[in-house]
């Protein structure tokens, strides 16, 4: 499971020779196939089914895309057709955001798709002066991750033992991290 290096997703994905991954509700032997394509074992099948219901689509004011097939959490169509519209947001958008808003960038430290080391380098590379260097943050007296604080209420944090979807893997720590950031006691 590339989104959680400690996780196991073999019960969610069936890899067939020469075919894209097929995703099942139940099991491949007795379940119902619900999709094909790139799916990273993040337990998103229920979310996909929910977001595809007509009442939810109407509430979100979205229509089924005719060109890309049914909406999927990890759409191979979108990935294959994505192109950048600007060379780098580091020089244009991010400095303006950091100067005007409180920002928290966070990663699970068990995420192999977006390693925290990449985001740590990315945030430090923005050139915002450091206020507090890499230090532990706690939940219930235990280390829950590490945080670096920069000027302008800009912070980078990790969540210990969490995969890509931090609230899915470590809900209590994610809640405390966000609450602490929002109430300004970070």
Q: What is the mean pLDDT of residues 67-95?
A: 75
Whether 85 has a pLDDT exceeding 70, the answer reads yes
In the prediction, which pLDDT does 9 show?
Answer: 52
First and final CA of the chain: distance in angstroms? 31
In the prediction, which pLDDT does 136 show?
Answer: 97
What average pLDDT does the chain have? 78
Q: What is the mean pLDDT of residues 63-77?
A: 69
Cα 145 to Cα 134: distance, rounded to the nearest angstrom:
10
Neighbours of 165 (CB within 10 A): 17
Q: Which helix (H) or strand (E) is 35 found in, with range?
A: strand 32-36
Is 0.85 surpassed by the pTM of this model? no
Cα 176 to Cα 153: distance, rounded to the nearest angstrom:
17
Q: What is the mean pLDDT of residues 27-42?
A: 46
Cα 184 to Cα 147: distance, rounded to the nearest angstrom:
14
The three-state secondary structure class of 173 is helix
Q: What is the mean pLDDT of residues 49-67?
A: 82
pLDDT band at 69 (very low <50, low <70, confident <90, very high): low
Q: What is the mean pLDDT of residues 63-88?
A: 72
Whether 42 has a pLDDT exceeding 60, the answer reads no
pLDDT band at 109 (very low <50, low <70, confident <90, very high): very high
Highest-scoring range by mean pLDDT, 42-56, 82-96, 102-116, 133-147: 133-147
């Amino acid at each position: 499971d590339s989104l959680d290096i400690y996780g196991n997703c073999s019960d969610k994905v069936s890899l067939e020779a020469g075919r894209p991954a097929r995703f099942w509700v139940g099991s491949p032997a007795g379940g119902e196939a619900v999709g094909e394509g790139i799916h990273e074992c993040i337990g998103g099948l229920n979310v996909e089914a929910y977001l595809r219901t007509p009442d939810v689509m109407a509430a979100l004011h979205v229509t089924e895309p005719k060109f890309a097939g049914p909406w999927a959490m990890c759409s191979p169509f979108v990935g294959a057709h994505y192109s950048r519209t600007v060379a780098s947001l580091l020089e244009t958008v991010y400095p303006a955001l950091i100067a005007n808003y409180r920002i928290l960038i966070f990663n699970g430290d068990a995420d192999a798709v977006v390693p925290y080391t990449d985001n740590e380098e990315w945030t430090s590379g923005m050139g915002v002066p450091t206020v507090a260097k890499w230090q532990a943050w706690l939940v219930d007296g235990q280390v829950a991750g590490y945080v670096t604080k920069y000027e302008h209420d800009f912070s980078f944090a990790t969540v210990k033992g969490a995969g890509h979807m931090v609230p899915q893997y470590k809900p209590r720590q994610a809640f405390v991290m966000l609450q602490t950031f929002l109430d300004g006691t970070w």
